[in-house]
Amino acid sequence: MTNEVWAVRYGTRVTTRTEAYLNWHVYGEPDESFRMDYFFWIVRGGGRTTVVDCGFDPEVGRRRGREVLVDPVDALAALGIDAGGVDRLVVSHAHYDHIGNLPRFPDAEVVIARREYEFWTGPYAGRTQFAHATEGDELAHLSAVRDQGRLRLVEDTLDLAPGIELVVVGGHTPGQLVAQVALPRGAAVLAADALHFYEELERDRPFFVVADLLDMYRGFDLLREMTQDPGRLLVAGHDARVRDRFPALPGHDLAVRIEEEK
Ligand SMILES: [Zn+2]
């Protein structure tokens, strides 16, 4: 199975180490600012398109102080993909920057971890330390998708399609998903927010939004294992270095092709 994987950068902001990393003070290093990008991903193979996450609603992103580089649905259109016609949308987790445009994919089967869905529709979803990264109406829309019979729940792992495997890792959220996509040479590991920045893995430093710290460290170990063989390409969810690591998709400023590292 030949798959092609693209990462699309649709938003950006400048943050600081203190804001981005859990308990930054324990490292005894000075704070500094750095860029945080926002991505979603596209997998094409076997005549089908799978969209992985759908970005924040531009209005919500602006309200939260994020810079909108492109409306994610417009970015898809520029790549020849009509959101209204997408039939498979994987949701790595339910934070606002990953499910914000769900209503604009009315025909898609939406794939999410059962633990993720049950947490965000359960009694603890509204507690501030969890709720700050979500939007109530967006979580309600997930439930609406389920009522419509379009929600597919992943238990621990799922072979979604030839060459596309989903793994529930938890950590960042209760049911954070990672996708592994077979490529002609090796595989792409779409970590989404199991790894916001490569530095989290390189220096073993968790991001500040944590549902379960032990699961987050286990997720780091799993990502190391998944990417130890040659040809395994690790794609972080929010790292500006994604643009340096992978070649631009010709004709599309904001997209890179996950095929081999530059
Ligand atoms: Zn995110």
pLDDT of residue 1: 62
Kindly report, residue by residue over 59-112, the tens digit of the pLDDT: 999 999 999 999 999 999 999 999 999 999 999 999 999 999 999 999 999 999
DSSP state of 221: H
CA distance 177 to 159: 13
CA of 217 to the centre of ligand 1 (A): 17
- Displacement of CA 65 from its chain's centroid (Å): 19
CA of 90 to the centre of ligand 1 (A): 14
Kindly report, residue by residue over 224-256, the tens digit of the pLDDT: 999 999 999 999 999 999 999 999 999 999 999
pTM of the entire predicted model:
0.97
Return the closest-CA partner of residue 75 out of 107, 53, 106, 46: 53
pLDDT of residue 125: 98
CA of 36 to the centre of ligand 1 (A): 10
Decide if pLDDT at 39 tops 70. yes
The encoded tokens of residue 81 equal: 């993909």
Q: How far from 44 is each of 79, 121, 140, 182, 250, CA to CA, in Å?
A: 12, 31, 29, 11, 16
CA of 188 to the centre of ligand 1 (A): 18
CB under 5 Å of ion ligand 1: residues: 97, 193
Kindly report, residue by residue over 168-222, the tens digit of the pLDDT: 999 999 999 999 999 998 999 999 999 999 999 999 999 999 999 999 999 999 9
CA of 99 to the centre of ligand 1 (A): 10
The encoded tokens of residue 122 equal: 């359960």
CA of 236 to the centre of ligand 1 (A): 10
CA of 242 to the centre of ligand 1 (A): 14
Q: What angle do CA 11, 70, 136 make, to 5 degrees?
A: 65
CA of 131 to the centre of ligand 1 (A): 14
Kindly report, residue by residue over 119-149, the tens digit of the pLDDT: 999 999 999 999 999 999 999 999 999 999 9
- Displacement of CA 243 from its chain's centroid (Å): 16
